[in-house]
Structure 1
Amino acid sequence: MVTVLSVGGSIVAPDNPDPDFLNRFAALVREWLAEDASRKLILVVGGGGPARSYQQAYRAISPAASDEQADWIGIMATRLNAQLLKAVFADLCLTDVVYDPTAVEVFTGKILVAAGWKPGFSTDNDAVLLAERFNAPTVINLSNIAKVYTDDPRVNPEAKPIDEISWKEFRQIVGDEWVPGKNVPFDPVASLHAQKAGLSVVCAAGRDIENLRAILDGKPFTGTKIAG
């Protein structure tokens, strides 16, 4: 049984790597995997603060900055974060960090760690591709927000939290275009892909370890489910 977590870079490295979170996250993962020998976990890691910082620097230096180059910068940050997670789980993650999710046939060990692949989408799309490949019906998307809102609550005080939403409605919120560094609950390209593949996505706050445990155990949780 394979479970896919899309782990936002904003919780792994909001500015710099966060050892406190990584300690708590690693303890939960190890405990959960140890309880059932059939469990396997795929961790797809985003770029976080370093990705945004380097992308902003590039755009400040280059007035004609291209989205493709900005994407490559972000991808490199995801690969550094992913290598950190692979090191943290070295005894359970026996396969090299995955860069191309379409090239993975099998993985040994209990954990597979993946990073950014190529320009045009975020690591959310890589998570969807890996969920398809390993027959995982749901991607658990962990970020720094507890739920999806009807609008950006930072700019619209009338925005309401959502418990469940259809892909059609969700895609009306996030749009169809990917822009490097775009701050949305789930990448628009990945959303379309997940909708076509019949996958569901759970969006939840990654730092809430008890809530993550509830999601992994199929118990009631705080978050937003996108499906249908």
Structure 2
Amino acid sequence: MSTKVLSVGGSIVAPEYPDVEFVGKFVSMVKEFLSSHPEDRLILVVGGGGPARIYQKAFRDVTGTPADSGTDDADWIGIMATRLNAQFVKASFGSLCREPVVTDPTASSKFEGRILVAAGWKPGFSTDNDAVLLAEKFGADTVVNLSNIEKVYTDDPRKNPEAKPLDEISWDEFRKMVGDEWVPGKNCPFDPIASRRAQELGLVVICAGGKNIGNTKSILEGKSYVGTTIR
């Protein structure tokens, strides 16, 4: 039995509201993949997306909390958004996902269906970290990080026109780029805390654009793909 982990960014599940068209096509692709790969099962870890950012901003506007200030309150708001999105995704798979949404990756031990859906855990971590912990628990060697960017860049391309896309990067170089601190709502290709643990475990992380469902299927099938491999 082969287990694959997908960290599905909330920005593609619910950029502001649930993206019904995308989720419908994603569910169909996953069902088709599992039908043709009976020995495989998938863990999907769903992010908070637009709802998390909207409510975190509202909290900061009300309280005057700086955007770069890491607080448990802001983190819990984001975590609740991930759980709403994850429940939506789980329900969309019906009987393929038998277990409840996982909210503590260190406690989960049952995986009887073909799909396990997880959400945020506790303050101080993003869903990327949950994906790494579940990969460790269930013996996956790769985490596929699906977001709204196709590749990791040498710098933020929105701010630096000279930034270059990368096909591959080492963990050491990647961690120099993202740092070591997690701030609720931080927008980076892969969470710094998750990156540290992934490097310790020797995991491969593939960052790719989640909206390209055909590309995601190629990754799952071990075919050539567009994305950045971190190892």
In structure 1, the residue matched to 2:62 is: 61
Shift of 1:63: 1.8
Q: Does 1:93 align with 2:97?
A: yes
The CA deviation string for residues 194-224 of structure 1, in whole angstroms up to 9 with x for no partner, is: 0011101000000101111110111110000
Cα distance in 2, alignment partners of residues 196 and 221 from structure 1: 25
Cα distance in 1, alignment partners of residues 127 and 153 from structure 2: 21
In structure 1, the residue matched to 2:21 is: 20
In structure 1, the residue matched to 2:36 is: 35
Q: Does 1:167 align with 2:167?
A: no
Cα distance change of structure 1 residues 213 and 64 upon mapping to structure 2, 3 Å threshold:
closer
Which structure 2 residue ranges, 5 or more long, are not aligned? none
In structure 2, the residue matched to 1:179 is: 183
1:67-146 alignment, distance < 5 Å: 67-146=71-150
Describe the SS at the equivalent of 1:26. helix
1:177-216 alignment, distance < 5 Å: 177-216=181-220
Describe the SS at the equivalent of 1:116. coil
What letter corresponds to residue 196 of structure 1 in structure 2? E
The CA deviation string for residues 72-129 of structure 1, in whole angstroms up to 9 with x for no partner, is: 0000000000000110012100000000000111211100000000000100000000
Cα distance in 1, alignment partners of residues 200 and 182 from structure 2: 17
RMSD between aligned alpha carbons? Answer: 0.8
What letter corresponds to residue 109 of structure 1 in structure 2? G
The CA deviation string for residues 46-79 of structure 1, in whole angstroms up to 9 with x for no partner, is: 0000000000000011024761110000000000
In structure 1, the residue matched to 2:46 is: 45
Query: TM-score scaled by structure 2?
Result: 0.97
Cα distance in 2, alignment partners of residues 141 and 35 from structure 1: 22
Aligned residue-pair number: 227
The CA deviation string for residues 127-162 of structure 1, in whole angstroms up to 9 with x for no partner, is: 000000111000000000000000000000000000
Moved >6 Å (runs of 4+): none
Contact kept, 8 Å, 2:99 with 2:110, in 1: the verdict is no
Shift of 1:36: 2.0
Query: TM-score scaled by structure 1?
Result: 0.98
In structure 2, the residue matched to 1:2 is: 3
